[in-house]
């Protein structure tokens, strides 16, 4: 059976990582048998030092992109087979926009904002023994700050990051409209990416400025709630 290595449920999310959540939802939606492996050592074991990775009977695959390709090749993943070539190409590029841009606004809202950081620290690091918990927490936050600056999002002000996030949410809200899913009546892998990235703002129990603002996009909130209710009734509370 496939083992999906992630961080584990937190903040009213099946996983705080949108990349882990994306793969989790894709496998659930496709009915692929898998087991969640959530322990603090997963990240140390990750060959590329990032989660998710999967262990498919000894074959290790890192990165959500390559995991999806593996699921298509080895497990008949066919969530996108009904789409036209043009829809599939559009969906692929939209997914990358969320992975590579909106994701960094999510990172900002959690790891960089001083008012939210204590909630992150309490969840991930406070349970570790003292004093290692302090050392690891400081190291993890510094490393995230470095990546955030390196990406370029870290060069922006709070207002500019909010503006960037709103541009993605506004476009997503327009694209979704009143449809159940982004490309019509059927869920595709892009819906999994969108759910994963949006629910970090709309369903997360973390109290963040960006989360509050994302919740004003009512159709996006309905979209994330509908998917959470269908796939994660035990893990995600939907009010």
Ligand X SMILES: N[C@@H](CCC(=O)N[C@@H](CS)C(=O)NCC(=O)O)C(=O)O
**Which positions lie near ligand X, rule CB under 6 A?**
17, 19, 43, 49-52, 63-65, 99, 143
Residue 29, Ramachandran bin (φ over 0: left; ψ between -120 and 50: alpha; else beta): alpha
Q: Whole-number minimum distance, CB 63 to ligand X, in Å?
A: 4
Select from 189, 237, 170, 191 the least CA-distant residue to 78.
189
Q: Whole-number minimum distance, CB 237 to ligand X, in Å?
A: 22
Q: Whole-number minimum distance, CB 174 to ligand X, in Å?
A: 25
| E-state strands within the chain | 2-6, 34-38, 53-56, 59-62
Please state, as a whole number, how many other Cβ atoms lie within 10 Å of the Cβ of residue 126: 13
Strands across the sheet containing 2-6: 34-38, 2-6, 53-56, 59-62
Task: Give the separation between CA 149 and CA 27, rounded to whole angstroms.
Answer: 33
Q: Whole-number minimum distance, CB 73 to ligand X, in Å?
A: 17
Q: Which is nearer to ligand X, 64 or 189 (CB)?
A: 64
Q: Whole-number minimum distance, CB 42 to ligand X, in Å?
A: 9
Q: Which is nearer to ligand X, 65 or 175 (CB)?
A: 65
Q: Which is nearer to ligand X, 43 or 72 (CB)?
A: 43
N-terminal to C-terminal alpha carbon distance within the chain: 34
């Amino acid at each position: 059976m496939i083992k999906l290595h992630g961080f584990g449920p937190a903040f009213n999310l099946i996983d705080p990582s949108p990349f882990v959540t994306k793969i989790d939802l894709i496998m659930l939606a496709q009915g692929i048998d898998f087991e969640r492996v959530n322990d603090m050592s997963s990240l140390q074991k990750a060959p590329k030092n990032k989660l998710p990775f999967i262990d498919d009977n000894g074959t290790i695959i890192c990165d959500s992109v390559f995991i999806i390709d593996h699921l298509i090749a080895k497990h008949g993943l066919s969530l996108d087979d009904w789409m036209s070539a043009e829809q599939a190409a559009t969906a692929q590029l939209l997914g990358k926009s969320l992975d590579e841009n909106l994701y960094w606004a999510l990172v900002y809202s959690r790891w960089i904002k001083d008012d939210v950081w204590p909630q992150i620290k309490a969840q991930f690091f406070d349970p570790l023994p003292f004093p290692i918990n302090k050392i690891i927490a400081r190291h993890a936050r510094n490393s995230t700050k470095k990546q955030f600056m390196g990406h370029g999002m870290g060069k922006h002000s709070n207002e500019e990051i909010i503006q960037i996030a709103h541009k993605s949410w506004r476009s997503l809200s327009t694209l979704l409209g009143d449809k159940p899913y982004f490309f019509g009546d059927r869920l595709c892998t892009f819906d999994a990416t969108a759910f994963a990235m949006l629910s970090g703002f709309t369903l997360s129990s973390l109290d963040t400025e960006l989360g509050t603002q994302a919740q004003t996009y009512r159709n996006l909130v309905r979209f994330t709630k509908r998917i959470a209710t269908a796939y994660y009734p035990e893990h995600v509370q939907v009010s």
